[in-house]
Chain A
Amino acid sequence: MKKIVISIWALFGFISSKAQENTNTAPSKKLTFDEANLVSSYYHQDGNNSAVTGGIGSEKLTDLSNTIDVTMVKYDSKQRKNKFNLSVGIDHYTSASSDMIDLKANSSASHADTRIYPSLQWSRENESKGSTIFGGISFSTEFDYQSYGANIGFAQKTANRMGEFTAKFQTYFDQVKLVTPIELRTGNSTGREHENYGTSGRNTFALSLAYSQIINQNFQIEFLTDAVQQTGFLSLPFHRVYFTDGSVHQETLPDKRFKLPLGVRANYFLGDRFIFRTYYRYYTDSWGVRSNTFNIETPVKISPFVSISPFYRYYSQKGTKYFAPYEQHTAFDDYYTSNYDLSTFNSNFYGAGIRLSPKNGLFGIERLNMLEIRYGHYTKSVGMNSDIISLNLRFK
């Protein structure tokens, strides 16, 4: 694993030295603050199809999320623009369904958890050549899951600067703690909450390609695709599955999954007040999941500094062949899950946001140059619904 990461970085360094040659030299400039974003969200969901209890039971969950990211810029002696972005996120969630791993409601270790996820990203743009190279690392940790990520990529603008091609390679090396439902703990297990669980690996490799094109003064489009290969322990150890005979089993899914999503975005500025942001995605994978996503958001500029953005998203999914509801699987099935996130359903997500960006800053703070609040309501046809409210403050 480490060898792969080191090889990728060595290759990246080589490409960087070749692609960014520039004969113009000038004194490099100091590292300067560009912007900082603070995003806080409160999320609440409820439903009655928890995968922890085999497709029945409460899905009640709350999540308080805070992320801060800071971007710094430095021009080097060859006048290349170096951007450094440091981001740190902290989520604290309480989950009624995770609490049922131990079948002791509101008391077990899995009732609540905190997730911390820092990341570091760097990019170098050669404005004269229209090329950019970038790379980054990320980490995420919570009680039963650790994820190490790395990415590298490059972008190249077309000769007339109207189009841009971007390629990115991402990897995630994850460790899943094997926390099984309490009644399925066997062998050396003591059947207690805080025992030494084993772990299992999960690897993700993704190649992302994108091409954006300016069509005219008001219109631009972008095509996106990812080819994602996942290997390792891809089910979750504490998801129960009940067979037709009433017996309880641990969720079992294949150890390989290939995903292929294809997306297109089109943004259009109509007149001086209306913007149409649209997005469509088709998705297919080797587990038999197929989906279509359509999203539209229409920011309306009330004034140059205030806009209101209603949005709507429709999502339709054909579920995996490995899914069946509570007590529908049999011993003849090789793979089985009762996780409704992998079932056939459709969902609607709608809401609105307001964005303020006055010239002289907000609340008398000159550096606070943007405030945005956004609310959304989400409903799934399988009986789950959720609400989310987010706040974004930007300092320049």
Chain B
Amino acid sequence: MKNNIKKIGTGLVAFIIMILIHSCTALKEYEKSKLNDAEMALGNRTIEKTELSFQSYREGSSGANSGKVGGGCGCN
């Protein structure tokens, strides 16, 4: 049952993503003013550097956030 729910959820997310990507329109440069706003930038913000570093130390997982994926002790 749990597996079925997981499969349906994954399928639903994939379907929504496909619809979104398929329905996107090409924009002119002047139409990208909001997308070019500094706070709309995809990826981590510069001020988050130390936060991301201690989160990767204090948690067993890391990666998939455009940041560092290894290296450094992380032991303190």
A binds B: yes
Q: A-B contact count, CB below 8 Å? A: 200
A372–B46 Cα distance when bound, in Å, is 10
Check if A299 is an interface residue, CB within 8 A of chain B.
yes
Would A208 and B50 be within 8 Å (CB), given that A61-B76, A291-B60, A319-B60 are in contact?
Answer: no
- Judge whether A182 is part of the interface by a CB distance below 8 angstroms: no
Partner of A390, one of B51, B60, B65, B76: B51
What 0/1 pattern do residues 35 to 58 of B give for CB contact below 8 A with A? 101111111001111110111011
Interface contact A320-B35, CB-CB below 8 Å: no
Contact in complex: B60, A357 (CB < 8 Å): no
Task: Specify which of A162, A163, A289 is in contact with B61 (CB 8 Å cutoff).
Answer: A289
Interface string of A40-60 (1 = CB under 8 A from B): 010101000000000000000
Q: Which of the 9-residue segments A76-84, A242-250, A276-284 touches chain B?
A: A276-284
Rounded to whole angstroms, the CA-CA distance of A41 and B38 in the bound complex is 21
Complex partner residue of A269 from B34, B50, B59, B65, CB under 8 angstroms: B34
Closest A residue to B76 by CB, please name it. A95
Are B61's CB and A98's CB within 8 A? Answer: no
Contact between A386 and B63, CB atoms less than 8 A apart: no
Are A261 and B37 closer than 8 Å at their CB atoms? no
A217-B35, A265-B42, A267-B40 known; A283+B24 contact, CB < 8 A? no
Check B34 against A341 for contact (C-beta < 8 Å). Answer: no
A388–B57 CA distance with the chains assembled, in angstroms = 14
Interface set, chain A 216-261, CB cutoff 8 A to B: 216-218, 220-226, 228, 230, 236, 238, 259, 261
Chain A residues, Cβ within 8 Å of B25: 216
- Quick check: A145 and B63 within 8 Å, CB to CB? no
Known: A39-B46, A261-B61, A291-B59. A214 touches B54 (CB 8 A): no
Separation in Å of the B40 CB from the closest CB of chain A? Answer: 5
Chain B proximity of A137: nearest CB distance (Å): 12
Known: A162-B24, A236-B75. A43 touches B69 (CB 8 A): no
Are A224 and B65 in touch, CB under 8 angstroms?
yes
A52 to B66 Cα, complex, angstroms:
30
B-contact bits for A152-192, CB 8 A (1 contact / 0 none): 00000000111100000010101010000000000000000
Asked whether, in the complex, the Cβ of A230 is within 8 Å of the Cβ of B27, the reply is no
With A261-B62, A267-B42, A283-B61 already in contact, the answer to whether A117 and B72 are too (CB < 8 A) is yes
Closest to A228 in B: B69
A380 within 8 A of partner (CB)? yes
Compute how far the CA of A147 lies from the CA of B64 in the bound complex, rounded to whole angstroms: 21
Q: Kindly state whether residue A142 has any CB partner on chain B within 8 Å.
A: yes
Query: How far does the Cβ of A177 sit from chain B's closest Cβ, in whole Å?
Result: 10
Quick check: B60 and A320 within 8 Å, CB to CB?
Answer: yes
Q: Shortest CB–CB separation between residue B71 and chain A, in angstroms?
A: 3
User: Does B20 lie at the interface of the complex (its beta carbon under 8 Å from any beta carbon of A)?
Assistant: yes
A37 within 8 A of B: yes
The verdict on A206 contacting chain B, using a C-beta distance below 8 Å, is yes
The answer, among A170, A228, A388, for a CB contact under 8 Å with B50, is A388
Name which of B26, B66, B76 has the most chain A CB atoms within 10 A of its CB: B76
Nearest B-chain residue to A210, judged by Cβ: B66
A184-219, CB under 8 A of B: which get 1 and which 0?
A: 000000000000000000001010101011111110
Q: Which residues of A contact B32 (CB under 8 A)?
A: 214, 217
B1 on the A face (CB < 8 A): no
CB proximity of A214 to chain B, nearest CB, Å: 6
Pairs across A and B, CB under 8 Å, 27 listed: A41-B51, A65-B50, A97-B76, A144-B75, A147-B72, A214-B24, A215-B21, A217-B27, A217-B32, A224-B65, A238-B75, A261-B64, A261-B65, A262-B64, A267-B41, A281-B61, A287-B60, A315-B55, A317-B60, A317-B61, A355-B39, A357-B38, A370-B38, A374-B48, A378-B58, A388-B50, A388-B54
Which residues of B line the A interface, CB within 8 A?
17, 20-21, 23-27, 31-32, 34-35, 37-43, 46-51, 53-55, 57-66, 69-73, 75-76
The 3 closest A-B pairs by CB, nearest first: A204-B70, A172-B71, A263-B64
A174-B71, A341-B60 provided; 20 other pairs, C-beta below 8 A?
A: A39-B50, A45-B58, A95-B76, A144-B73, A162-B27, A206-B69, A214-B24, A217-B35, A220-B40, A221-B20, A228-B70, A263-B64, A275-B39, A277-B40, A279-B65, A283-B61, A291-B59, A347-B59, A349-B51, A384-B58
